[in-house]
Amino acid sequence: MANFETVEVKTDVLILGGGMAACGAATEAAYWAKKNGLKVTLVDKAAMDRSGAVAMGLSAINQYVGVRDGQNSIKDYVEYVRNDLMGVTREDLVANIARHVDSSVHMFEKWGLPIWKDADGKYVHEGRWQLMINGESYKVLVAEAAKNALGMDNIYERVFIVEPLIEGGKCVGAVGFSTRENKFYVFKAKTTIVTMGGAVHVFRPRSVGEGLGRSWYPPFNSGASAYFTIKGGAEMTCQEVRFIPVRFKDAYGPVGAWFLLFKSRATNALGENYMQTRRPELEKWKPYGMVKPVPANLRNWLMMLDVMEGKGPILMRTEEAIEKIAAESPDEKSKKKKLKELESEAWEDFLDMTISQAILWAATNTAPEEKPSEIAACEPYFIGSHSGASGAWVCGPEDIAPKEYFWGYAQMTTVKGMFAAGDASGASSHKFSSGSLTEGRIAAKACVKFCVENTEEPNFDNAKLEEIKKWVLAPIDTFEEHKGATVDPEVNPNYIKPKQFMFRLQKIMDEYAGGVTTQFMTSKPLLEKGLELLAMLREDADKLAADGLHELSRAWENYHRMWQAEAHIRTIMFREETRWPGYYFRSDFPSMKEDWKVFANCVYHPAKDEWEMLKRDIIPIYEEVKVS
Ligand code: SFD
Ligand code: AMP
């Protein structure tokens, strides 16, 4: 076996991940832990300053309810989320985040984040819920707060978490390895918060060749949260609710500022606005087709109908939007000034969070004030914090949650001691950066309570640990043993390299589970075939080979992705309807059905190596809005 030193760390609260939810968890846990004499430890596979989805920065804070300013109520936000998810949402979780999120945003401002203000000193809104920021360094600021709260002695960066430690049905920690040194890490903890983001590259991306890693979602979020919770035996929810954003084509620049702040239209090649010409289609998806704003998946769907009829390319009419705003200026001089201002805001929107889109504009001689830019639906992603909903099924807050949704500690999964937040927790979409951090805070406070009330030390059998260590390092051993069998190490009859493994996974998902190739369309026979091929991929996972620490990360990333893929296929197959056209379409069940207005959940039973599918009721805490 590869010679890796074992490093053991014992702690009370273990935070896995270093993104938005993890940073929120760190700041909150530090506060409560100090009061209770507890230790908090954080582990990130990357460097926190630039890890996770906010690595490049962001140009907006997408969740701000504005309760203090009397702008909206918690109920308003819950209704918005429920409608956007076609009726499938955990209102207790959404409300819990919504009532605390504004305080997180005020904290960001205290930490130094520049939030745009108008002449009266009020926040500048992008849309009803979104605030404009100069957010290139958003993640650096948030990471700094988390680091200050915990102290670097309690933070492990560049440690890749592979596997949960489960003993007697309880989560007692996690194992992983350093991505820089030959060290195997064992973290034993009373409570573990899973905040390792969502997953990308489960499906074949649109990008090819040198652009392959380019996607909307950050390539380093590779299904670790889903794997950790599934493998630990936690009940999962909304595993079918993938997210497919519409983005500026090829470099994946955000559209929110264009649609909401600049009030731009998107048109097809004939100059038609599909949101108007396709309006009758929305009737089919009542009541959610009739709400405002039109749900994100339906916006996609209307656009796709045009594309499938050959009316593409679809264009964001940036030139028209800029001209329209500038034309409101009282005279020619102020119009010129306004044009300059808008031009720089347009570029900054990309430079703040998707630098490659600004590079693409420059490379293609695109001046947004002169010509429109193409937009397109991306490939499917798993992200419980944006407009998708996949994640673990977690306990709600005691004071709001219906009894069916409450089992002791807010944000705890169905596995004792294992908590989840941000992309890792499901059925509570539209939390975004601010809501994810908030959910991390909520989880951390509950974790400390759990530690105070459950003082039992975390234990794990040493012999089992040795077996896990051997399994985690096996790809290195496999490579060493067989590398001499071929001249090109990429091709070998005895092993499969992580990249080839990933290509195979992506091909299965793309062609059978409704990827880009099939315009997100699938059916029972296709899904069954996909599952059959996935089972063979899982057999071959034992032959993954890694030529060093870098490839060892890649190997485990793809292994994690494979489990996310399986949960996804099984749940799409279970739900016999189409509820989110624009995200995916079941050709064999092409409409929405009242009896499927439920959560589709799943549990993997490790001891039996079996999946169980479950329907769970949607229990509203607010009445559904009546829409005609
Ligand atoms: O508009 C392991 N999001 C936006 N939110 C906003 O509020 N405003 C915006 O402007 C946003 N835009 C946006 C957004 C996301 C993306 C990808 C883009 C643009 C391009 C959403 C937020 O970013 C998102 O909601 C939060 O970041 C979610 O937080 P969290 O904590 O659930 O995930 P994370 O921040 O990605 O962090 C994940 C961490 O896990 C680590 N990790 N650590 C150890 N072991 C492993 N095996 C691990 N695997 C992963 C990561 O390193 C990271 O630290 S807009 O365009 O939509
Ligand atoms: P995006 O850049 O697409 O992630 O959008 C940022 C925010 O604006 C998210 O909260 C989106 O849900 C919202 N948004 C984007 N486009 C629209 C639209 N056309 N109508 C309503 N909301 C939108």
DSSP 501-518: HHHHHHHHHHHHTT-GGG
Pocket of ligand 2 (CB under 6 A): 62, 127, 130, 245, 254-256, 259-260, 293, 296, 299, 387
DSSP 23-56: HHHHHHHHHHHHHHT--EEEE-SS-GGG-STTTT
Considering the chain, what is the average pLDDT of its residues?
Answer: 96
Long-range contacts of 589-595 (CB under 8 A, 24+ apart): 591/284, 592/86, 592/285
- Is it the case that residue 628 has pLDDT exceeding 60? no
| SS3 assignment, position 541 | helix
The amino acid occupying position 126 is: E
CB 373 near ligand 1, within 6 Å = no
- At 623 the pLDDT is 78
The domain ranges of the chain are 246-376, 472-597
577 classed as catalytic:
no
Spatial CA neighbour of 219 closest among 572, 469, 506, 547: 506
CATH class of 246-376: alpha beta
- At 1 the pLDDT is 81
Q: Which of 62, 81, 259, 349 to mutate to test the pocket of ligand 2 (most atoms within 8 A of CB)?
A: 259
**Domain 246-376 and domain 472-597 have a common topology:** no
- d(Cα 452, Cα 190) in Å, to the nearest integer? 10
Mean pLDDT score, 238-247: 98
Spatial CA neighbour of 628 closest among 288, 159, 239: 288
- d(Cα 22, Cα 16) in Å, to the nearest integer? 7
- Is it the case that residue 301 has pLDDT exceeding 80? yes
User: For atom 4 of ligand 2, which residue has the closest CA?
Assistant: 256
With helix as H, strand as E and coil as C, how does 435-487 read?
HHHHHHHHHHHHHHHHHHHCCCCCCCCHHHHHHHHHHHHHHHHHHHHHHHHCC
pTM: 0.97
- At 626 the pLDDT is 61
Instruction: Calculate the alpha carbon distances from 28 to 104, 396, 446 in Å.
Output: 11, 18, 10
**What residues pair up with 125 in beta bridges, in sequence order?**
131
558-617 tens-digit pLDDT: 999 999 999 999 999 999 999 999 999 999 999 999 999 999 999 999 999 999 999 999
Mean pLDDT score, 240-268: 96
Contact (CB, 8 A) for 573 and 529: no
C-alpha torsion 480→481→484→490, nearest 10 = -60
CB 260 near ligand 1, within 6 Å = no
386-404 tens-digit pLDDT: 999 999 999 999 999 999 9
216 classed as catalytic:
yes
Strand order in the sheet with 246-248: 246-248, 373-377, 314-316, 266-267
331-373 tens-digit pLDDT: 999 999 999 999 999 999 999 999 999 999 999 999 999 999 9
B/e letters for 470-495, b = 16+ CB within 10 Å, e = fewer, are: eebbbbbebbeebeeeeeeeeebeeb
- At 70 the pLDDT is 85
Mean pLDDT score, 269-296: 97
CB 234 near ligand 1, within 6 Å = no
Mean pLDDT score, 527-545: 98
- Is it the case that residue 625 has pLDDT exceeding 70? no
Q: Which of 63, 255, 265, 386 to mutate to test the pocket of ligand 2 (most atoms within 8 A of CB)?
A: 255
Contact (CB, 8 A) for 421 and 439: yes
**Nearest ligand 1 atom to alpha carbon 560:** 47
- At 627 the pLDDT is 56
**Nearest ligand 1 atom to alpha carbon 62:** 7
567-581 tens-digit pLDDT: 999 999 999 999 999
Q: Considering only CA atoms, give the Rg of the chain.
A: 24
- d(Cα 619, Cα 94) in Å, to the nearest integer? 13
Which residue matches tokens 């702690």?
11
- d(Cα 155, Cα 296) in Å, to the nearest integer? 37
User: For atom 1 of ligand 2, which residue has the closest CA?
Assistant: 256
DSSP 324-354: HHHHTSSSHHHHHHHHHHHHHHHHHHHHTT-
Distance 130 CA to ligand 2 centre (A): 9
348 classed as catalytic:
no
Q: What percent of the chain has pLDDT over 90?
A: 97
90-133 tens-digit pLDDT: 999 999 999 999 999 999 999 999 999 999 999 999 999 999 99
- d(Cα 292, Cα 561) in Å, to the nearest integer? 35
- At 97 the pLDDT is 98
User: For atom 47 of ligand 1, which residue has the closest CA?
Assistant: 161
Fold of 472-597: Methane Monooxygenase Hydroxylase; Chain G, domain 1 (1.20.58)
- At 156 the pLDDT is 98
126 classed as catalytic:
yes
- d(Cα 122, Cα 125) in Å, to the nearest integer? 9
Mean pLDDT score, 163-185: 98
| 418, containing H or E segment | strand 418-420
| 186, containing H or E segment | strand 183-194
Of residues 129, 216, 361, 563, which has the active-site annotation? Answer: 216
